[in-house]
């Protein structure tokens, strides 16, 4: 049974020790206050690396030989991640261009840890975690993560950015709320930050509550929100084929699965592509942490 450490950076940093695709012990979190949702935005890259390394040091299992007690370290974060480099990260701009693997490796080596490090997109880690915890490591798993940004994860990992949150779902030139600056993006409609910019007079929770209560402006947006997700999902189905999609994340409580499926039915009409299914999963940070650790361990076996 392999042992690895998974670290996930989104609105916060969570980390855990993984053994045989299971979390061992408790998760570690930074910031410690769970109500502090934007504690990483203003933290420069090097202090972020120090926090990551502090968590890894605290989680490292004790053993007689370093090679025997830790097989891999997986780090997952938002953005386009390739070859250990964060090429872009609209929601954590300080990470753009950062050689995170190299920086973490240097700090850990100085502290006596030489386990191999793998870097992943955070939504891909969620997909790997769902595959690992549901005995689906031999299948293709796709997942939407609904939070400050909108992530699209795929397991197994494949070449390409897979920035599904930046799928163009609107031709309206006024749809400019996406964090990357692009026009008409899925994240510009569904992202938490984007909703706050769109409705300066209310929080996203109030938008959905008011929509349910009959406020027409909010009700129209709730429909637009679901149509945007359906459009992004339909695009993936038309490009990669049908299959099972999972939806999770901070804002999963806003999802009306019946409404989403209604819109999907309108968008996917070719019968060979209609064998898809969509399942909502409550947000659990353990899933992505398990996914980061598991994917890192599988990296070493390839």
- Mean of pLDDT values over 254-264: 98
Q: What domain count does the chain have?
A: 2
Q: What share of the chain is helix, strand, coil (3-state, %, to 5)?
A: 45, 20, 35
* Domain edge (last residue) among 107, 122, 137: 122
Residues 46 and 93 placed together within one structural domain of the fold = yes
- Mean of pLDDT values over 19-43: 81
Question: Could you give the CA distance from residue 142 to residue 262 in angstroms, rounded to a whole number?
Answer: 20
Residues 131 and 118 placed together within one structural domain of the fold = no
Question: Could you give the CA distance from residue 214 to residue 109 in angstroms, rounded to a whole number?
Answer: 58
What pLDDT score was predicted for residue 34?
Answer: 65
Residues 34 and 70 placed together within one structural domain of the fold = yes
Average pLDDT, the chain: 91
Whether 66 shows a pLDDT value over 60: the answer reads no
291 within some domain: no
286 within some domain: no
Query: What one-character-per-residue DSSP string does 12-64 give?
Result: SEEEEEEETTEEEEEEEEESS-TT-TTTTTTS-HHHHHHHHHHHHHHHPPP-S
Residues 102 and 163 placed together within one structural domain of the fold = no
The angle subtended at Cα 54 by Cα 50 and Cα 13, nearest 5°, is: 80
Residues 105 and 229 placed together within one structural domain of the fold = no
Residues 208 and 179 placed together within one structural domain of the fold = yes
296 within some domain: no
289 within some domain: no
248 within some domain: yes
Residues 113 and 143 placed together within one structural domain of the fold = no
What pLDDT score was predicted for residue 36?
Answer: 65
Residue 103 belongs to domain spanning: 3-122
Task: Please measure the distance between the N-terminal and C-terminal CA atoms of the chain and give it in whole angstroms.
Answer: 16
CATH number at residue 261: 3.30.420.40
Residues 234 and 257 placed together within one structural domain of the fold = yes
Residues 69 and 189 placed together within one structural domain of the fold = no
Residues 70 and 152 placed together within one structural domain of the fold = no
pTM above 0.95, yes or no: no
* Span 67-107, pLDDT tens digits: 457 899 999 998 899 888 999 988 788 889 999 999 999 99
Residues 179 and 255 placed together within one structural domain of the fold = yes
199 within some domain: yes
* Span 113-141, pLDDT tens digits: 999 999 999 999 999 999 999 999 999 99
What pLDDT score was predicted for residue 2?
Answer: 80
Confidence of residue 63 (pLDDT cuts 50, 70, 90): low
287 within some domain: no
* Span 174-211, pLDDT tens digits: 999 999 999 999 999 999 999 999 999 999 999 999 99
* Span 276-299, pLDDT tens digits: 999 999 988 899 999 999 999 998
95 within some domain: yes
């Amino acid at each position: 049974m392999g042992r690895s450490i998974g670290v996930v950076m989104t609105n916060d940093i969570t980390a855990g020790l993984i053994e045989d695709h299971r979390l061992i012990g408790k998760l570690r979190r930074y910031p410690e206050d769970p109500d502090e949702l934007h504690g990483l935005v203003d933290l420069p890259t090097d202090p972020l690396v120090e926090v990551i390394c502090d968590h890894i040091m605290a989680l490292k299992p004790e053993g007689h030989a370093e090679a025997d007690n830790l097989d891999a370290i997986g780090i997952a974060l938002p953005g386009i991640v390739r070859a250990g480099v964060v090429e872009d990260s609209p929601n954590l701009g300080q990470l753009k261009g950062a050689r995170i693997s190299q920086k973490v490796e240097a700090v850990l080596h100085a502290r006596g840890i030489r386990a191999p490090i793998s870097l992943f997109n955070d939504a891909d880690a969620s997909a790997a975690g769902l595959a690992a915890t549901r005995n689906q490591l031999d299948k293709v798993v796709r997942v939407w993560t609904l939070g400050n940004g909108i992530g699209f994860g795929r397991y197994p990992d494949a070449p390409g950015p897979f920035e599904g949150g930046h799928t163009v779902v609107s031709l309206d030139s006024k749809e400019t709320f996406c964090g990357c600056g692009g026009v008409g993006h899925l994240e510009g409609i569904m992202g938490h930050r984007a909703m706050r910019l769109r409705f300066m007079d209310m929080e996203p929770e109030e938008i959905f509550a008011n929509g349910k209560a009959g406020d027409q402006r909010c009700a129209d947006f709730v429909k637009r929100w679901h149509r945007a997700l359906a459009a992004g999902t339909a695009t993936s189905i038309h490009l990669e084929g049908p299959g099972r999609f999972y939806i999770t994340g901070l804002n999963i409580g806003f999802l009306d699965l019946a409404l989403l499926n209604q819109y999907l039915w309108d968008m996917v009409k070719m019968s060979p592509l209609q064998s898809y299914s969509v399942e909502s999963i409550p947000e659990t940070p353990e899933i992505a942490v398990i996914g980061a650790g598991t994917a890192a361990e599988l990296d070493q076996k390839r």
